Structure 1
Amino acid sequence: MGVWQLVLVGLVMVLGVVGVLVPGVPGRWLVWAAMLWWSLHELSTTAWVLLVAATVLFLVDQVVVWLLPVRRAREAGCTGRVAVFAGLGAVTGFVLLPVVGAIPGFVAGIYAVERLRLGGHGQAVASTRAVMRGAGTSLLVELFACLLVVGAWLGAVLAG
């Protein structure tokens, strides 16, 4: 696979990760489709193992998201700004502390935007808890699954 195709696959994966944070955009499907495209062109054992693992992970992710209690995101205070800060926090945490850093980064992103909005620590903590209970958990699960797949793909590409 050429460099330009790898860049395009990477861009589709990034679009998928961002799409998780935007309602109505099939982020998980974009990441999976990019992995499928890469696997079909790479035709290696590693590519097929990653595709199967991504498929299983996304199926488990879908079941977990369905099983989580569903509440209205707006009622919990989850605005577009909160989603952007949470996503940036998760990606930053994932980069700084691979894989496990996404979870504290996600929560820290929500806390940061709520601290800016409300001004106080206690109010920001209470609002962060409400957002995580209302909408954040299912969003975090889906974002974490996408980040795991993108990280595995990036590791495989960089390893050769």
Structure 2
Amino acid sequence: MEIWGEVLVGVAIFAGLIGIVVQVLPGAVLVLGGILVWAIMTGGTQAWVVFGVAAVAIAIAEVLQWILAGKHMRKAEVPVLTLAVGGIAGIIGFFVIPVLGLFLFFVGAIFLLEWLRRKDVSAAWGATKAALQATLITIGVQLVGSLVATGAWVIGLIIT
């Protein structure tokens, strides 16, 4: 693969890593997609082994994020519906108040729903904090998996 192609793949991977942190882009998909394009264009056993390692790292991260965040939310007794409504509110908020609205509407919706459900402000705030912690767990696990995939790609660049 020519150098400009590798640079474009690197930009896609970087955008994916940013997307994981900001939670606006499908980050892990961009990272794996960039590595897939690189493997196709580079060809050979080494490139496909790199892609396989990246795919496994991201797949493990995707499964772990659901297990760990789900366990955290069950422990805090926050229903999935509350998270779904919070997520939808966050998306709407992103367009109402660019970028900042994502966070504000997500937190606000979860707090409001849990306050209505529990009839207790401190319990609602505790559930809201648990939802934020679960979100951070998700981001962290996705980021680690994608960084392992990125590391495999960098090694692949060196050995191919």
- TM-score w.r.t. length of structure 1: 0.59
Greater displacement, 63-72 / 47-56: 63-72
Gapped regions of structure 2 (runs ≥ 5): 74-82, 88-98, 101-128
Aligned residue type for 1:21:
V
Aligned residue type for 1:136:
L
- Does the alignment pair 1:22 with 2:36? no
Q: Distance in 2 between matches of 1:69 and 1:137?
A: 6
**Is this contact kept in 1: 2:55–2:149, CA < 8 A?**
no
Aligned residue type for 1:47:
A
Gapped regions of structure 1 (runs ≥ 5): 75-79, 82-128
Q: Distance in 2 between matches of 1:154 and 1:69?
A: 29
Question: 1:143 maps to what in 2?
Answer: 143
Query: What does 1:1-160 align with in structure 2 at a 5 Å threshold?
Result: 1-70=1-70, 133-160=133-160
Aligned residue type for 1:35:
I
**Comparing both structures, which one devotes a greater share of its residues to helix?**
2
Name the structure, 1 or 2, with higher relative contact order (CA <8 Å, separation 6+).
2
Give the structure with higher Rg (CA): 2
Q: Distance in 2 between matches of 1:131 and 1:158?
A: 41
Q: Distance in 1 between matches of 2:6 and 2:145?
A: 21
Question: 1:105 maps to what in 2?
Answer: none
Deviations 1:66-105 (A, max 9, x none): 112345699xxxxx79xxxxxxxxxxxxxxxxxxxxxxxx
- Segments ≥4 residues shifted beyond 3 Å: 70-74, 129-134
Shift of 1:21: 1.1
Deviations 1:24-69 (A, max 9, x none): 3100000000010000011121110111111122211111111123
Q: Distance in 2 between matches of 1:28 and 1:134?
A: 18
Shift of 1:136: 1.9
Q: Distance in 1 between matches of 2:12 and 2:69?
A: 30
Deviations 1:94-128 (A, max 9, x none): xxxxxxxxxxxxxxxxxxxxxxxxxxxxxxxxxxx
Shift of 1:130: 7.2
Shift of 1:131: 8.9
Aligned residue type for 2:42:
E
Q: Distance in 2 between matches of 1:8 and 1:34?
A: 8
| Identity over aligned pairs, percent | 29
Q: Distance in 2 between matches of 1:40 and 1:68?
A: 33
- TM-score w.r.t. length of structure 2: 0.59
